[in-house]
Every structure is written in structure tokens, then in C-alpha cells.
Structure 1
Amino acid sequence: MLKSSLLRTAALLPLLAAPACAADKDAEIGFIAFGDSGYHYGYMDPKEYKKPLKTLEEFTAAEKADAAEDYLPLESFQMPPAYFHPEIGGYVTASGQDAVARAMTAYCEKALCQFATLAGDNIYPDGATAGADGKDDGKRFEDIFAVPYADFGKDMPDFKIYAALGNHDWDTSREGAMAQVAYLEQSSKFYMDGIFYRVSPPATNGEVEIFVIDTDVMLAGLEVREAMLNPDGSEVKDTPVDQPDEWIKPANDAERNMAKWLEDAMASSTAKWKLVVAHHPLWSSAGGKFEQARVLRRVLLPTLCKYADAYLSGHEHSMEMHETSCAAATGNPDAQPLPEILSGAAAKQRPLNPNFMAYQEKTYPEYKPYYRRGMVWGFAHVSLKGDEAKVTVLTTPNDESGTPVEDFSWSFSNRP
């Protein structure tokens, strides 16, 4: 299944020194892709922990019960790292935010990292709340954005983290979501320009353009069914239609026409590399996101298959690399497929469902997975040079050491 250009390693590989940034069009461009990073112990939802899991045995039993409820085969079960939360008085799943932030910083000491992309769910569990949870959003932004990433990219001129919003960022209210956007818009480290925007990172000299869209708002304006699995991992058909909160639904013509904006913006771009960043993936492997993905493929693939060189997503707390056939979307059986970099493990871990994975591969011939790994913390590094992209998947151990470990690499060409 793997092309000859794909390599799988099990240990940390020697890292090559990054070449100096140059202005010629064949100079290397490098960046980090991460997502779902905002899990912080200071902002837990107390409603979820009314009965604290006071022992590791209780924590383990609860995790196994959740896995059984999701029809995960017992033989594939893995325990997540645990943390005893003193305020809750029990064990919770450990956060990898600080460890991943340190691992990204360490990796970028040797690899070229001129910018980063953040694929949403930047604040768990309910985004900024405008005080609804009794917490100050200013302090929340400092704890979740400023402190963990203070050293990340600090030695690279014009370094920015280009962010999208995810579903958790919208959980409380539109006011809360817009408060986060306002903070990131004025941040010296992060970048947003509304909930959808286009931007060319300065260090890329116009060779890269990023198109950020808000797939939570987009999906809220469309009919999306709830994702449910049968015990054998197959999809339950004709499930109820999901009912999004009113404040997430498109609020104006610009939001309602976001897909058309993306098409027009990408058509007008002169960049060599056109990258789309969004929260929701087109494919994933845990079994809980496939209905959203189905709708997004229908809406976005005609544009993505015509213009995009890669689609970067999160939402699933895993590390995955996929390709989607563009034959149906373009009417051309020889159309170049669309690569997807799913990097959603920057703070949380999620198990994959092998039965669902097998069902998905069998049912959807247009789908081609290259790499899928759950129950890890991780991120991706992307190197662009000439017409080739190389994606390196990195994990970091559960011991919270922040050591970057190269796990997989994948290469593809840009769209002609």
C-alpha cells in the first residue's frame, strides 16, 4: 500500500541542520502543522467530573467502559496517560500540550520552521466563555496561548501560527468565539483575520498561500447526520440530523458563502503552494467524524481538487495521512489526488477503531490511507522544496519529556 517514497521509523532519527532561508523560488520552505492543542488543567468542566475517579483502577475501568461503548475491540485497547487533578480530586487524562509545545520547539532547533498552522480546538472544553464559567478569558488566553508557545519560533523572523477555529472554540457562544479571534488577531505570535481568511507567510516570498476556513460554521449551515457505528464497525445509516447551536450557524452572507469565497480566493492565487487549513477532516479513523467528512467532501472537493496542494486538518485526536481521489470531483480519471495531513494530537489522544478502518477502506475506493496512528501526542513538519513536499510525522512520549520522535515520512508533488 505504501509508495517507495514512504518511510516508517520507530526511533528518533538524526536531524539535519536547516538551510538558511533564501529568496530563490527553489529554496526550502518549512513549517509545523498541529491541532487540538488547548487542553489545560486549569479549565476543566466540573460537570464532567461529578464522580471523581480516585484511583488508577477506577480510571482504567472508566476508559475501558468508554472503549466498549464505542465498539472498540478489546485487543486494540490502550490506556491513555493519566494525571491526578487536585481540584477535581481524581484522575483525568493527561494533557500533552506542554510536552508537544516543547517537542515542536526542540525539533525546530534543527529543522526549518518558518511558520505553523493550528487546525482548531484551541481552547478546551468550551472555548472562550466571556465569563460564563466564572473564569477570566484574558487569563485563559495567557495560559493556553502565550505561556506554552513562548519559545516556539522565537528565533525565526516573522514567525506566526496561522489559526483556525474548531467546534470546541464555538461551544459557549459566538461572543466567546469572537473573543478568541480578537485575541489571536492582535497577538504577536498567532495570526487570524476573521474566522476565514487567506494569507501568505512573509518568509515564503509569495510561494505559499494559506486559506483558512471555519468548517464548524460551514457545517452548521448544512444538513449533517449524526455519526454512529454498528458493533462490527460499519456505519449506521439514516441516523438523526445533527442540530447545531444557533450561534454557530452562518450569521451573514459572507459566512453562508464561505465555500464560494474559497473557490474564488484559490482561483485568484498565484502561489506555487496552496494550502487549505480547516478543523474537520475529510477522512479519519476513530469512527466518530465520518458524517461531517462526507458532507465536506461533497462541498469542498470540487475546489480542493482543482486548486489545493494539500488539506490540513485536526478534530480527530490522532496523526493520519490520507489521499482522496479527485476523479469524481473533476470528471478526470487521471486527476491528481488530494493529500490530507490530519494533525490533531497536540494535547489529547484518541484510539482508532480497526473495524471501522477496515470498513472504510473496503467501502470507499476513492480513499487511500498512508499512515494512521492513535493514542499518541504528536505534530507534523512539512518541507516544501521545488515541486515536492515531504511530511514528517513526529510523536512525543507519554513521559512528558518533550522529546520529538520521527515516526513516519510521506512525500507528494504539488498540483500542476
Structure 2
Amino acid sequence: MRYLVLFSLLVTFVSNSAEHIDDHYYQTHSINALTGNDGYSFIVLGDWGRNGHFYQKPVAKWMDIASYQLDAEFIATTGDNFYDNGIASVSDPYWQTSFEDIYHQPHLFIDWHPVLGNHDYRGNWQAQIDYSNVSRRWEMPSQYYAKNIALGNENALLLFIDTSPLNPDYANEPKYLAAYTQGSQTQLLWIEEQLKSSNAKWKIVIGHHPLYSSGKRYGKTDAIRGVLEPLLEKYDVDAYIAGHEHDLQHNQIQGSDLIHIVSGGGSEVRPVSTYPFTKFAKSTGGFVAVTLSDTSVLFRFIDHNGNLIYTHEAQ
């Protein structure tokens, strides 16, 4: 009996110590000026699955801290979830080495809502959907899907779309014919119906390919832009969030209210430049935190060192 009591005391001590260490960690590791968790927040990560290489691990660390500070509801991805050639099955070791072992921190065990990128189509893209039946936090019901969010007196509509089948640039790309030959009309009709029938205060679309880029693909996005931009403009979409470019960007076209965000700094990074539509562009690892309220949508860009490097608010 005495040993049982001692063991119970030891377990209690260790448990309390762990809680103290955990609390201390988030008190001493924080992102300056990342305040205001009274809205509905989520984190957007893109171009990330590289077995922990490049900036993937430090980005994961600061995502966890941001999620703690903002009490984030979920994590969205902008695609290219597994480099270089996607995954083979739901039991592919990449699930462990590129996802489970990297994003293991306590505040990353919330829902993940991914979209597919072009590199995901080099492998078994259906396995990424099927992994939703394996992992509680991986929530990808289909290639494209909607999420409705209640915001007090208002609401928001988020569309998670699959841009590879929509991208005319892939018509002659052997690596991506499995995507492009699926056709685009069914998905485009679905996108239009979702936007047309929504009375949401905020409409946000999340996909892989950007419509404008201040990075590597500057001047090379005309094809996908011609497909998507008319729909997004017609139905007053507030923001289009993409990846594909390995950096962080905010682009704004003169005369348009549509906000173009690129969150592709999940691991490897590439150079960026400044163009007439560039509001912000930086070649850095990192992610974007989005906070929605009845009156505003706030985008905060955080780099792999835990610095808040850019903020944009729309009302």
C-alpha cells in the first residue's frame, strides 16, 4: 500500500511538472504582437512535405506557438503536401516522416484541411483523401469541398479547391495528365454554385496555383487566372489563398478588391521580386494566420524565426 501511495504521488508530481514546463514554454516562446484571439483563427501552410528538410521543422515549431496564441480552429494547406512525387498509399512512410513526426506539437493536433498540389498528383492523390479514414486530424473528404463558419452575427464560406485539373498549362504536361484529363467543368460548376448561393460575409477560396505571382512564376500564371479570376470577381470573393510559389506574398490588382495571398513557405524557399501589384513578398519559410470576425478579415504573415513580418486587414 505504501508503495502504491508513493507511486501515485510520483505520477502526480511528474504530471504537474509537465504541465508547469508546458506553460513555461509558451510563456517564454511567443510571437510578438500576435494578439487578438477573440476572432475565428486558422493557419495556412503550403509546399511543406520534405521529411523535415529546409525550414519545415522551425515552421512547424512556430505554427504550434501561433496556434496556441490564437486558439486556432484548424490548419489549411495550399497543396504540395508531399515532395517530390507525392505518396504511394495511406501506409507510405512519408506520412510519418513528413507529417506525423514533424507536426507533433500539442497545438497542431487540430483539424487539417488540405488541398492537392501538382506534386501530389505525381503520386497516389486518392490516398491523401483516404488518409482521412486513418488520421483523426486529417480532414480531406474529397478533391474539393466547402466549409461554413459561424462568426457570431455573420458567417464565412471557405472553398478548398483542386486547381491542377483546372490548369490549362497541364494539358501537355505528362506528369500532370492524371489531373488535367479529369476535366474542369464539374468542379467549376460546383465552385460557381457554392459562391452564387452563399450569403456569407466573407468568401475565401483556397487552392494551389496562384493567379498572380511576385516569385518564380511571375508572368506565367495567365492560364489558371483565365479560368478562375472571372468567377472569383463575379461573386465578390474576398481572398484567394494559394501556394506553389515557395515564399510568402500579398498581391493586389489595381481596381480590384480581391486579395491574393501566397502561403508557400512550408519548407524550401525561392527568390521573389517586386512588381506593380506587389504589396508584400518575401523569400522566407513561414505561414499565414487568418482571423475572421463580423467586421474584418486579418492576415498575419509569420516567418520561420517566429517574427510577425507583415499584416493586412480588410473590412
TM-score bucket (shorter structure): 0.7 to 0.9
- Say whether the 8 Å CA contact 1:392–1:410 is kept in structure 2: yes
SS for the counterpart of 2:70 is: coil
Choose the corresponding residue for 2:247, options 318, 329, 338. 318
| Residue 141 in structure 1 maps to residue 92 in structure 2 | no
Check 1:15–1:337 CA distance in 2 against 1; reply closer, same or farther (3 A cut).
closer
**Greater relative CO (CA pairs within 8 A, separation 6+):** 1
Check 1:128–1:96 CA distance in 2 against 1; reply closer, same or farther (3 A cut).
same
Q: Tell me the amino acid that sits aligned with residue 38 of structure 1.
A: G
TM-score normalized by the length of structure 1: 0.63
**After superposition, what is the alpha-carbon deviation per residue over 1:15-70, rounded to whole angstroms, capped at 9, x for unaligned?**
43633xxxxxxxx11111111110116xxxxxxxxxxxxxxxxxxxxxxxxxxxxx
| Residue 309 in structure 1 maps to residue 238 in structure 2 | yes
Specify the alignment match of 1:31 in structure 2: 42
Displacement after TM superposition at 1:147 (Å):
2.4
Displacement after TM superposition at 1:340 (Å):
1.3
TM-score normalized by the length of structure 2: 0.81
What CA RMSD, in Å, does the superposition of the two structures yield over aligned residues? Answer: 2.7
SS for the counterpart of 2:92 is: helix
Measure the CA separation in 2 of the matches of 1:108 and 1:314. 20
SS for the counterpart of 2:69 is: coil
Please identify, of 241-250 and 387-396, the stretch whose mean Cα deviation from structure 2 is larger. Answer: 241-250
Structure 2: give runs of 5+ residues left out of the alignment: 1-29
Measure the CA separation in 2 of the matches of 1:242 and 1:148. 32
Specify the alignment match of 2:207 in structure 1: 278
Q: Tell me the amino acid that sits aligned with residue 251 of structure 1.
A: Q
Measure the CA separation in 1 of the matches of 2:97 and 2:298. 33
- Kindly indicate which of the two structures has a greater share of residues assigned to helix: 2
1:9-408 equivalences under 5 Å are 13-16=32-35, 18-19=37-38, 28-40=39-51, 94-130=53-89, 137-151=91-105, 153=107, 159-172=110-123, 176-184=124-132, 186-200=134-148, 207-219=155-167, 222-223=168-169, 242=173, 245-251=176-182, 255-288=184-217, 290-291=219-220, 293-305=221-233, 306-325=235-254, 336-352=256-272, 354=273, 357-358=274-275, 361=276, 368-374=277-283, 376-397=284-305, 404-408=306-310
SS for the counterpart of 1:32 is: strand
Measure the CA separation in 2 of the matches of 1:203 and 1:151. 27
Q: Percent identity, aligned pairs only?
A: 25
Structure 1: give runs of 5+ residues left out of the alignment: 1-10, 20-27, 42-93, 131-135, 226-240, 328-335, 362-367, 398-403
Q: Tell me the amino acid that sits aligned with residue 41 of structure 2.
A: G
- Say whether the 8 Å CA contact 1:224–1:295 is kept in structure 2: no
- Say whether the 8 Å CA contact 1:12–1:407 is kept in structure 2: no
Displacement after TM superposition at 1:276 (Å):
0.5
Measure the CA separation in 2 of the matches of 1:380 and 1:372. 13
Specify the alignment match of 2:8 in structure 1: none
Q: Tell me the amino acid that sits aligned with residue 197 of structure 1.
A: Y
Measure the CA separation in 1 of the matches of 2:82 and 2:132. 12
